[in-house]
A and B are shown apart, each in its own frame.
Chain A
Amino acid sequence: MGLAMTGLGLVVFVVFHMLGNLQLFEGPHALNGYAAFLRDMPIALWAARIGLLSMAALHIGLALQLSMRNRRARPVEYTIHRYRHASIASRTMAISGMALLLFVGFHLLHLTAGVIDPGFADRRDPEGYRDVYGKVVHAFQNPFMVVLYLAGQLGLGLHLSHAIASSVQTMGFEHAALNRLLKAFGPVIGLIVVLGNVAIILAVFLGIVR
C-alpha cells in the first residue's frame, strides 16, 4: 500500500516533469522562463524537492524490504518455472527500479547540479536567464548521453508499464466493466511519459531542435 502510494506520487511527478520539458519545443524563451519561474519560488521548489526525495527514499526502502521478504518466501527455487501470464515488466520491478535509481542519480548530477559537464551549469541566455535550453541541447548532441538517457527511458517505461495498473489493484479499485480500462491505463500513461521524453532527446540529436 505504501509502495503503491509513494509510487503513484512519483508517477505524478514524472508526468509533470515530462510536460514541463516539452516546452523545449517552444524555444529557449519558454523553457528558460519556465525554469526561472520554478527557481523564483525557492520555498515551493525546496518543499517539492524535499517531498520528492523523501517519497523516493520511502519508495525504495519499502521496495527493498518487500523484495527481501518475497525472496525469503521461496528459499528453494524450482528447477523449471514457466510463467503463463506474469509480464516481464512485472517480474523485473526490482531490477528496473534499481536501473532507474542509477539513472535518476546521474540525471540529477548532470542536469540539476551540473557536476557532470560543469561547463554549462551557469551559462546565461541573452535575456539573462540560466540557459537550460542550451544545456539540454548541448547534452543531447553527445551520442553517449543520448544512449544513456534512452536506456533510462527504457527502464522507466518497463517500471511504469507494470507499476500504475498494479497500484490501482493494490488500492482496491475494481469494477466488472471498467477493469479492462484500468488495466490499459497504466501502460498508456507510461508510454506517453516515455514518448514525450524520447521526443526531446531525439529531436535534439537529429538536429530538429538546435
Chain B
Amino acid sequence: MKFTLNIWRQNGPDERGRLITYEAPDVSPGMSFLEMLDGVNQRLLGNGEEPVAFEQDCREGICGSCSLVINGIPHGPDQGITTCQLYMRRFSDGASITIEPWRAKAFPILKDLVVDRSALDRIMQAGGYISVNTGGAVDGNVILIGKDQAETAMDAASCIGCGACVAACKNASAMLYVAAKVSHLATLPQGRPERARRVSAMLEAMDREGFGSCGNQYECEAVCPKNISTRFIANLNHEYLRAGIVESGLPSEPESPHAESS
C-alpha cells in the first residue's frame, strides 16, 4: 500500500511547527500505524534527515504513551483502540493521512508529535494517598466488595492515562480522566476515607494545570481507547457536590449506626 502523510514537525516547545508531507511507498496492510511510522523514519535516517519523534512503549494498548491525532481524531478512525493497535489495512490505498500531536495548553509539545502529559500525573498526585495498613500483605477477601461495585471500579480503573479525552475535547478538558480516577477510588472501601478531599484536590489541580471545563459533549467517550463511560463524569460531579457538603462542616450523622466516628 502507498500513503501520503502530512506530519506535524516542530523542533521544540517554543518553536513554530508546521505540517510536512512525506511519502510512505511500501506499507503492508498488516503493519500497525506505528510500524508504518518506523518505516518512514528508517527512510529519513537513510537520507540523513531527522526522524519524526513520536511517543510509544508497549505497542499493545496498555501503556497509553502512543498519542497521535490521525485525520482529526485522537487514536484514529476506529473506536476503543490506541494508535498502536490501529492497522494500515484500515485505510484505503493511496490515502493521504494527516498526523498531529495532542493539542492543549496543559500538554506542551516537546518535539514533533511528542507532548508532555505530566499534567495528568500531577493531578493524580494531588489526589494523594489511600488508606492501606502497612505490614504483611492482607489476606484476600478480608474486605468483601460487591460484584457490581468491583466491576464499576474495574471499568474506571481501566483508564490508561493516554490523554485522548483531552485531545478530543473542544475545551481540552481532562474531565473524563479525572472522573475515571476519582470514581475508581471512591467506589472501593480502600479509597473511601479520603474521598471528599481527593475529589476537590484533583479538580483544583485540573484547573491549575490549565485544562478547560466540561461541556458535556461526550467527545471524550467516543475516542477513549478503553471506552470509559461519561457516566463517571456525572459520578465525579456527584462526588464533588458531596465533598462540598462534607467539607462545609455542617454536623452530620454517621453513615451507619455502627460506623466509628472520625
With A and B bound together, what is the CA distance between A1 and B217 in angstroms?
16
Q: Specify which chain B residues have a CB less than 8 angstroms from the CB of A74 in the assembled complex.
A: 103-105, 170-172, 212
Selecting from A64-72, A148-156, A199-207, the interface stretch reads A64-72
B192 within 8 Å of A (CB atoms)? no
B215 and A80 contacting across the interface, CB-CB below 8 Å: no
The CA of A24 and the CA of B181, in the complex, are separated in Å by: 53
Q: Which of B103, B211, B212, B222 contacts A76 (CB 8 A)?
A: B103
A167 nearest CB neighbor, chain B only: B216
B172 touches A73 (CB 8 A): yes
Comparing A86-94, A122-130, A131-139, A190-198, the segment that makes contact with chain B is: A86-94
Q: Is the interface of A mostly helix, strand, loop or mixed?
A: loop
> Considering only CB atoms, which chain B residue lies closest to A82 in the complex?
B72
B242's nearest neighbour on chain A, judged by CB, is A172
Q: How far is the CA of A176 from the CA of B229 in the complex (A)?
A: 11
**Alpha-carbon gap, A176 to B240, bound state (A):** 20
The count of chain A contact residues (Cβ–Cβ below 8 Å) is 34
Residues of A near B41 (CB, < 8 A) are none
Question: Is there a chain A Cβ closer than 8 Å to B241's Cβ?
Answer: yes
Of residues 199 through 254 on chain B, the ones whose CB sits less than 8 Å from some CB of chain A are 210-219, 221-223, 230-231, 233-241
CB distance from B160 to the nearest CB of A (A): 19
Among B168, B173, B215, the one with the most A-chain Cβ atoms within 10 Å of its Cβ is: B215
**Min distance, Cβ A71 to any Cβ of chain B, angstroms:** 8
Q: A70 contacts B237, CB within 8 Å?
A: no
Interface string of A75-104 (1 = CB under 8 A from B): 111111111111100110100000000000
Given A73-B105, A84-B219, answer yes or no on A173-B98 (Cβ-Cβ < 8 Å): no
> Within 8 Å CB of B219, what residues of A?
83-86
Whether B73 contacts A70 by the Cβ 8 Å rule is no
| Residues in A neighbouring B106, C-beta threshold 8 A | 73
Contacts of A169 in B (CB 8 A): 216, 230, 233-234, 237
Kindly state whether residue A117 has any CB partner on chain B within 8 Å.
no
State the 10 A-B residue pairs at the shortest beta-carbon distance, nearest first. A172-B238, A73-B212, A174-B234, A82-B72, A172-B237, A86-B217, A80-B72, A70-B171, A85-B222, A70-B212
